[in-house]
Amino acid sequence: MMAGNRNKFGVSRNGVACGEASAAVREQMSSFLTTEVPRGAYTAMRTSRKRSAVFLLDFHKKRLVDSHRILLAKDENSASFSDQLATTEESFLQLAVKSISASIYSLNELLEKGEEDREAMVTVVVTLSEPYEVHALASLLPDFREGGIGVEVRTGPRSRPKAKDTQWAITRKHWENIRLPGVEETILADEDGHLLEGATSNLFIFIDDVLYTAPDVILPGHLREAIIDRVCPMLDIPLRMEAPTLESSSRWQGGFITNARRLLDVVSFVKVPEVEGAPEVNLQTTQLTRQIRAQLAALVEDSSDPISTYEHCTSPQPKH
């Protein structure tokens, strides 16, 4: 049996470790984004090497800046994506890196024997109101899941898809509340039936031995980027940046979703509840999917960026 019998979550604020998360977060992790912190731009990342490194740290720093700019702008098209950072952006990025280490420190203090080698997911939020605050939550990652999961398709792509906004954690509750039994993720489609992305994930479908995923009209995740830029070339997998459609489902050979918490989950069936009488699409776990997951896991372990050790202050710190 795995050590410990409760969820463990370490928090930090503005680079300072604040100990264990509130009871609300321990009961429902999404409460961190929906009720515990002010609205802001956020990102979620995986650790490696016993929580001493983070996969694609620069990706997450850029995501925080870009999402912050989009959410402060009147619309996505008016946001600046210049590499030149404002002073306030430099400041909150420095705090973000410190907050990652501090939240991991808070989590480490909660671990029991047998949990020392487990990895974590760290969620970092930068608030939208000045003076900007940085909040972070570190939680242990679940074990790899061998079996597949069920997903369902719903019409309704997100607004401002390229910004990772804590408000989305509230909005997506609607999809979670109406899910059919046995379904674990909602795939968002446009009015023409193009499958864009999951409510908390990116989607990939094999069609005629080619891997399809939506182009950059969605929120591109860091694991999606790793698959596109590194895993597919390594494994010589043909890739097409095009959203799969429901009309092509008879040619689907397999599929999977990716996100920071689960890494990669195989999709075993797809339901379409909005289309009366639509048959369930059953998918196989392909050998290529297994290879992609193995290669992705190896990349996370081998290509992560070390993070500095949190320097603990012995004076009492405010609780989160």
> 67-81, 150-164, 202-216, 273-287: which has the minimum mean pLDDT?
67-81
Residue 316: pLDDT band with limits 50, 70, 90: very low
Distance between CA atoms of residues 242 and 210, nearest Å? 11
Reply yes or no on whether the pLDDT at 318 is more than 50. no
pLDDT, tens only, 211-251: 999 998 999 999 999 999 999 999 999 999 999 999 999 99
**Is residue 169 within 8 Å of 33, Cβ to Cβ?**
yes
Please give the single-letter amino acid code of residue 304. S
- φ, ψ for residue 303 (rounded to 5)? -120, 30
Between strands 9-13 and 134-140, the pairing is antiparallel
Q: Which of 265, 148, 145 is nearest to 204 (CA)?
A: 265
What six digits make up the tokens of 218? 């969605």
Between strands 263-271 and 149-155, the pairing is parallel
What six digits make up the tokens of 182? 């046995």
- Residue keyed to tokens 């069920």: 150
Residue 135: pLDDT band with limits 50, 70, 90: very high
**Is residue 10 within 8 Å of 19, Cβ to Cβ?**
yes
* Virtual torsion, Cα 180, 182, 187, 193, nearest 10 deg: -60
pLDDT, tens only, 80-101: 677 788 899 999 999 999 999 9
More confident: 106 or 318? 106
Please give the single-letter amino acid code of residue 311. E
Question: What is the mean pLDDT of the segment spanning 8-20?
Answer: 97
pLDDT, tens only, 244-303: 999 999 999 999 999 999 999 999 999 999 999 889 999 999 999 999 999 999 999 999
- Residue keyed to tokens 């790899």: 144
**Is residue 125 within 8 Å of 241, Cβ to Cβ?**
no
Residue 145: pLDDT band with limits 50, 70, 90: confident
What six digits make up the tokens of 137? 């939550």
Residue 314: pLDDT band with limits 50, 70, 90: very low
